């Protein structure tokens, strides 16, 4: 008898570890009487007020037996959570509750659970593990529920919180007992589009960007609504339903200067740990920002401008014995923040702030080896390939350049023909060796309005030559201003490379104006628009149309973590009228409007890295190369490393999708998938032409390519344009964001001033010390990796699927990423690849996956690592 029971136990374990659904008959045949079930409920331990009480209950839903009265799976009796014990999940404090059930013999297979919070406060539910006990008292199998969600009191929600197990089902494969639950859950998540959202509601709906302006403060704070019109197309954001302003009846009211009390669906919010860390990092940045200003004020020095390069380094980065001043500043900042933060978050912030010893900005890597290497032509050009914005440079298709309006550039053959390393212009063009950094056409329509705000901005074109050693050499810079009234000609000036004298000073100023253009484009377009903003509609559609049981939902879920929350923070603090980006970036009040103009030309297929490289002319098709992609600049760090990462993602997505979809017909027949893609095209990105989101999801290859592209945007592309910001832009002269002076013309008083003291003129051109220091504080926060960051190739939960084949495929993905890391290390060690480090000596690691970083390794400003999602 004992041997027979042991054999049955072994059969059940083997069955449930491979195909849980196939165990139905086994389960029924071996249980002729009620059987015991034990559940472990893990909750984050944040504070005494944020944990379940005695009135919180757990129920189990069958996925194989239907309750004929409800049409849903059979539901177990309710059991209260009792006797919680302090535990730990990694380094995070948790509480684990034990719950016991006695299930009837015909309950069947467990498919879902329902948690009812009968107490007064919400809590963060991490996971639930349900163990089935056999006749010998040993567990025979388990069902896992990856929750990671806030559970609010039922007195607020009116319904229990439903969680499906980690088993994946396509819609047509869903067990009959779960079909109604699956559909009802999606209906609830969509809401009805009415009313103001409450913090406990899990409702995903779309809205325009009508939360940027603040008409109540006057005309200076009015901003156009972005989205929903031909004039201002834009991706959609999450709807909050806040009341509209009495002034214009279209802009949402803004309640606070620092508004952390905005609606984000509970599942999209930062964890308590991450929120406190984010706020604490911001406090440190504020302290770093305040100290130089206070020190300057106490000295009675020039508080408008930095007086020299040395003063910038001395004031911003040098440690000083100012602990007492730091304590006073911290006290002032923290007391102000106390008005805006929940009590438990505020206490965590104080704890982290007390452990902070750094009182100045860390030294940015761009000046760590050589304070002036950034000024060289070599570094200026190299950063177009390996800096923080390596996604704009393209090959010149015709000489001279021609704008969209058909107007020809002022650059003439005589400007470059003697600087082509022995080539003629025709030879250089035929050999595809001339490249352009083009910040001209999109800026020209805005320049007059921007400069009327006190800015001194040009639109720029920069031509470069690929040399025999694979580096780029700047050839010429064209700076253009708006046409003068009644003349009809653009006012353009051309500058040529020089190192000494007044020509050298003019050339350095011309490069500075190019960097200013590139800084604005980087932050507003490459970073914000092309990663943060364009991803949010995909998140909303995924939550509304794909069940959490859907395999594609499980594939995409880690790549959406925290994006909606960080975007809401950005709209509240950075992008709003008078916000930090308007104060630090040259487009100022026109920043978001400008991004709307550029969004009009955004196309989803252009975000595929191979397609992007081909379209920009940085690669050509060659069937002898991997996927037919031959780079024209072989030592293009962003592209070489990026292609490795792209193909690793593509291989993983291909294997995953092929596991669930056997044919094109399976893709076409997936009703949830069809609704998902349709909603993204018609609503989420509905301001664009219908062909802007290609390919159509009518085949398995199309699905694979679309998902690869989406994961690439959310992970690797964002990492490439975000986490190098402090390394390159942490020293304001290297990447200025605004200009206060135009380049003077010969014969003017300003020209004489430039001749007399070029460095002083430069300091009076770049942003004033307040604006520059504020910008450094911003990029310090944006460049930090959070302690709980989860990197590409890893998952937040070890048990996120019970499909052993998917687990195996995911492990293969991780191994491929480790191979990518090894290749990147080898490239960075190859002294022949001059673009990998350049004059500043900074190795290119922004595409280094860092898959081995499980949270125990260094975080903060590392300039490496690819997080799964757009999370900062």
Q: Which residues are catalytic?
A: 527, 532, 718, 722, 872
For 806, the token pair is 């998917």
Distance CA 59, CA 75 (A): 7
Residues 521, 552 contacting (CB under 8 angstroms): no
How does DSSP classify residue 702? H
- As a dihedral over the C-alpha atoms of residue 571, residue 575, residue 581, residue 586, rounded to 10 degrees, the angle is 170
Distance separating the N- and C-terminal Cα atoms of the chain: 60
CB-facing half-sphere around the CA of 804: CA atoms within 13 A: 7
CB 807 within 8 A of CB 801: yes
Characterize the bridge pairing of strands 459-466 and 472-481: antiparallel
Q: In this structure, what token pair is assigned to residue 619?
A: 């690669």
86 beta partners: 95
CA distance 557 to 167: 15
Reduce the DSSP state of residue 331 to 3 states and report it.
helix
Measured CA to CA, the distance from residue 777 to residue 282 in angstroms comes to 8
* Residue 430: how many other CB atoms lie within 10 Å: 10
**How far apart (Å, rounded) are the C-alpha atoms in residues 316 and 113?**
54
- Give the dihedral sign, CA 395/399/402/408: positive
What tokens were used for 320?
A: 């000083």
Q: What are the structure tokens assigned to 617, written together?
A: 């002319």
Instruction: Name the 3-class secondary structure at 566.
Output: helix
Residue with structure tokens 């990447």?
735
Peptide bond into 146 cis (omega under 30): no
d(CA 31, CA 23): 12
Report the alpha-carbon distance of residue 782 to residue 777 in Å, rounded: 9
Q: What is the DSSP string of 249-296?
A: SSSBP---SS-------GGGSPPHHHHHHHHHHHHHHHHHHHHHHHHH
User: In which residue are the tokens 């969004």 written?
Assistant: 599
CA distance 57 to 79: 5
* In the block, residue with structure tokens 């630090």: 584
Distance CA 692, CA 606 (A): 9
The 3-class SS string of 569-610 reads: HHHHHHCCCCCHHHHHCCCHHHHHHHHHHHHCCCCHHHHCHH
What is the 8-class DSSP label of residue 740? Answer: S
DSSP string, 227-255: SSSSSS----EE---PPBPTTTSSSBP--
* H or E segment to which residue 815 belongs: helix 804-828
């Amino acid at each position: 008898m004992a041997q027979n029971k042991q054999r049955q136990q072994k059969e059940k374990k083997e069955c449930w570890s491979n195909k849980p659904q196939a165990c139905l008959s086994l389960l029924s045949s071996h249980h002729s009487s009620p059987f015991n079930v034990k559940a472990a409920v893990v909750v984050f331990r944040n504070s005494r007020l944020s944990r379940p009480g005695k009135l919180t209950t757990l129920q189990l839903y069958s996925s194989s037996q239907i309750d004929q009265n409800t049409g849903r799976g059979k539901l177990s009796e309710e059991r209260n959570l009792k006797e919680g014990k302090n535990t730990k999940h990694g380094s995070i404090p948790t509480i684990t509750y034990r719950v016991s059930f006695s299930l009837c013999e015909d309950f069947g297979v467990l498919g879902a659970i329902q948690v009812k919070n009968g107490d007064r406060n919400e809590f963060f539910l991490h996971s639930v593990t349900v163990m089935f006990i056999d006749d010998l008292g040993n567990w025979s199998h388990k069902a896992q529920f990856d929750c990671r969600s806030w559970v609010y009191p039922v007195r607020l929600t009116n319904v229990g919180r439903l969680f499906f197990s980690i088993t994946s089902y396509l819609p047509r494969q869903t067990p009959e007992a779960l079909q109604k639950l699956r559909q009802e859950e999606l209906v609830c998540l969509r809401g009805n589009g009415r009313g103001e959202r409450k913090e406990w509601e899990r409702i995903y709906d779309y809205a325009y960007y009508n939360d940027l302006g603040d008409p109540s403060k006057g005309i200076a704070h009015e901003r156009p609504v972005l989205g929903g019109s031909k004039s201002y197309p834009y991706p959609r954001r999450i709807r909050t339903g806040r009341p509209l302003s009495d002034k214009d009846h279209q802009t949402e009211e803004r309640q606070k200067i620092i508004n952390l009390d905005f609606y984000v669906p509970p599942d999209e919010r930062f964890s308590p740990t991450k929120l406190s860390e984010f706020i604490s990092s911001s406090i440190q940045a504020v302290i770093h920002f305040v100290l130089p200003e206070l020190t300057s004020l106490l000295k009675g020095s020039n508080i408008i401008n930095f007086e020299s390069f040395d003063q910038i380094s001395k004031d911003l980065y040098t440690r000083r014995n100012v602990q007492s001043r730091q304590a006073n500043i911290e006290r002032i900042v923290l007391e102000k923040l106390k008005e805006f933060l929940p009590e438990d978050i505020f206490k965590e912030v104080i704890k982290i702030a007390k452990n902070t010893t750094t009182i100045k900005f860390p030294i940015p890597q761009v000046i760590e080896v050589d304070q002036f290497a950034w000024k060289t032509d070599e570094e200026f050009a190299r950063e177009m390939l390996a800096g923080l914005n390596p996604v704009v440079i393209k090959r010149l298709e015709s000489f001279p350049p021609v704008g969209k309006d058909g107007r020809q550039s002022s650059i003439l053959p005589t400007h470059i023909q003697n600087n082509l390393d022995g080539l003629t212009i025709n030879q250089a063009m035929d050999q595809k060796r001339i490249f352009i950094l083009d910040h001209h056409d999109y800026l020209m329509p805005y320049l007059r309005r921007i400069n009327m705000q006190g800015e001194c901005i040009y639109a720029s074109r920069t031509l470069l030559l690929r040399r025999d050693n694979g580096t780029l050499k700047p050839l010429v810079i064209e700076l253009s201003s708006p046409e003068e009234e009644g003349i009809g000609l653009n006012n353009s000036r051309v500058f040529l490379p020089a190192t000494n004298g007044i020509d050298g000073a003019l050339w350095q100023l011309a490069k500075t104006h190019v960097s200013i253009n590139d800084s604005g484009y980087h932050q507003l377009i490459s970073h914000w628009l092309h990663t943060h903003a364009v991803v949010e509609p995909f998140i909303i559609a995924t939550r509304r149309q794909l069940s959490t049981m859907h395999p594609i939902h499980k594939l995409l879920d880690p790549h959406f973590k925290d994006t909606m929350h960080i975007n809401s923070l950005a709209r509240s603090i950075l992008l709003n009228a008078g916000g930090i980006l308007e104060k630090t970036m040259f487009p100022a009040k026109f920043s978001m409007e400008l991004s709307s103009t550029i969004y009009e030309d955004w196309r989803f297929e252009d975000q595929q890295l191979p397609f992007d490289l081909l379209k920009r002319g940085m690669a050509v098709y060659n069937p002898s190369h991997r996927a037919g992609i031959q780079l024209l600049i072989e030592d293009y760090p962003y592209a070489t490393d990026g292609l490795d990462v792209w193909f690793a993602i593509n291989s993983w997505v291909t294997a995953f999708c092929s596991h669930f979809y056997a044919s094109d017909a399976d893709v076409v027949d997936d009703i949830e998938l069809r609704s998902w893609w349709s909603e993204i095209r018609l609503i989420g990105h509905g301001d664009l032409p219908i062909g802007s989101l290609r390919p159509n999801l009518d085949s398995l290859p199309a699905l694979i390519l679309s998902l690869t592209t989406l994961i690439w945007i959310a992970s690797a592309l964002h990492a490439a344009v975000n986490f190098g910001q402090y390394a390159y832009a942490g020293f304001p002269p290297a990447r200025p964001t605004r200009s206060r002076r135009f380049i003077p013309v010969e014969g003017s008083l300003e020209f004489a001033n430039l001749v007399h003291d070029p460095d002083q003129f430069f300091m009076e051109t770049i942003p004033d010390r307040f604006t520059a220091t504020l910008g450094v504080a911003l990029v310090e926060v944006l460049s930090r990796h959070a302690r709980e960051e989860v990197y590409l190739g890893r998952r937040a939960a070890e048990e996120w699927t019970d499909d052993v084949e998917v687990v195996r495929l995911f492990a293969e993905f991780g191994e491929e990423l480790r191979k990518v890391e090894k290749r990147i290390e080898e490239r960075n060690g190859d002294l022949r690849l001059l673009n990998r480090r350049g004059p500043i000596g900074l190795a290119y690691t922004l595409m280094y996956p860092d898959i081995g970083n499980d949270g125990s390794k260094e975080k903060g400003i590392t300039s490496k690592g690819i997080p799964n999602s757009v999370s900062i």
